[in-house]
Amino acid sequence: MKVCGLNLLADVYRWLHRIHRRRQKNDTPPDIIEKVENYAHIPTGAKWILSFFMLMGRLELFTILMLFSPSFWKK
């Protein structure tokens, strides 16, 4: 992501600062699901990289779930 010009650490700090600032204003929990930005500012190459890693993470999850299924061990 650094190659694409994105600074992930700065984005995480901004997000945490926004939550902290909202908690100081009132004691209600922050609405994390509110729409703040979209993915338009992320370059196309970075979107492909993120999509690839998302799919790899899901495939790994399916592999682990398969290992715990009884039908896998019956064969």
Termini Cα distance of the chain: 42
**C-beta of residue 42 within 8 angstroms of C-beta of residue 1:** no
Record the tokens describing residue 63, joined without a space.
Answer: 């592999």
3-state secondary structure 17-72: HHHHHHHHHCCCCCCCCCCCCCCCCCCHHHHHHHHHHHHHHHHHHHHHHHHCCHHH
Q: What is the largest CA-CA distance in the chain?
A: 59
For residue range 11-58, what is the model confidence (pLDDT) as tens digits? 788 778 877 776 666 655 555 555 556 777 788 988 898 888 888 888
pTM over 0.85: no
